[in-house]
Structure 1
């Protein structure tokens, strides 16, 4: 047992972590280990092949799907949302472009505002969650939110923006967004276990998400849309996440030049020690070790995957509880950055 595994085990034991931890280097897995239960009621253990929801980690796949349409010539970064949406969502400013939406600089109102002060256990959706199964059905929650600022003015993390991107992609491509992501991202990346699943009919080898309520084992099935869209809700495994990074940087999803464009910083957030490109979080300083990150946090979900292209190093923590991933993710960041 390595010192890193000892340290991960200690944190997992101390925090009651449920999930999977993985470290890959040069395409070879150095460490992968599962902890806790995928289903508490039936005492089903997590395994390294268990599928977990990754919440906003989905945004990276959405961004790549949209950019693949741009590379094909179906869209442009300068395409306005209005030119595709028509009369739908009239409160979206006519100047909002695909690039604004990808960079969280659109200023549109957010149906799921993470800065609104809600507790992770709150019920925040204004309509029954089962009514959100297709991207078009999200129009019911996207509408009616006034703009917060002019397009391009500043960064403001925005879930609505990524559902609008899914709508745009779906309408110009002609197939459902779920099929579009599978065809344009998952299949070329070899992500065979990654899919937008319904939370009310999860298949085998899939973790149920649990809320951080002391003394209870309440699931997240009433808290989130029954099937995700552009802003979150896809399910994946640590193996597929590793395949995703290798495929992305290998030019298998979009060209290397477009990957570089997506990773060009559009915003800097000193308070978070990060910058943001198009769909991906970046280090605060370009002088630091190169790194690209996807992260997700929601009711019954926590996920972080960091990829360092130059070192060909990936470390991923995925959990079926809201607070689960963070202590181990911080440990991996500290330990592996030093190597």
Structure 2
């Protein structure tokens, strides 16, 4: 497993990160498989599974030396039914962080992610609270997720003023979803902010498992309505035919389709790590083998030619909320 520095920081992260969103029966085993594959960077969030995802990840990492791993969690959404606090206000940020530390069984997190931009809370309030927890040693670095270029530059100015180590943005980025490329990634580069590439497999579409518009049993789209909603826009017959043609490119390169997609996300110089989830330990081991793969210009060109007009690159589609009704 190769490692890269993220942004202009001194933090090394594994090229493949493991993200634990759920607390299914294999969650802890998947985290252990990630450790065995050399993965050192792990992501979760307080709201995922109402805290159960953090607890499952902590169980899987129980035998790891704390100083050997980069542990990332984050705040934004409601964290349990009936909660009144969400977003990035001081009260929610503080209570969320302390809950995460308790569930993760640690006295600090390496990266504290602001999972979405909060239009209702002054950015100054958020970063003053962050400066406090950084000084207290509870947070080593701060990251954002799905922030626009303008939001990142505002955050960078405040971070510099308040001495908050803002080092990364977590953005959806894949062969099919390239919305960050034209504005977010250039702005981040100017600010010295690196990227975690989220969903490099495009909700599993780029693994080739959704052939002929069928939803495979046990897939995320088969398990819950949110998963089905996320996958549904990709279940286009013409798109799936093009994706299936990627199989030949992957085989010629000696890769699985998943490895090809992860390696593609890692080819962008601003991306330090690709974040992947898994429902089985074997998937983690397969994904980890994408580390160190270098794709030639001929392969990258073939991918662009195949996917063509199905690539989404509109920067206005950055996943930042303007409504809070679904929280």
Q: Smaller-chain TM-score range?
A: under 0.3
Q: TM-score, normalised by structure 1?
A: 0.26
Determine which structure has the larger helix proportion and give its number: 2
Q: TM-score, normalised by structure 2?
A: 0.27
Higher relative contact order (CA 8 A, sep 6+): 1
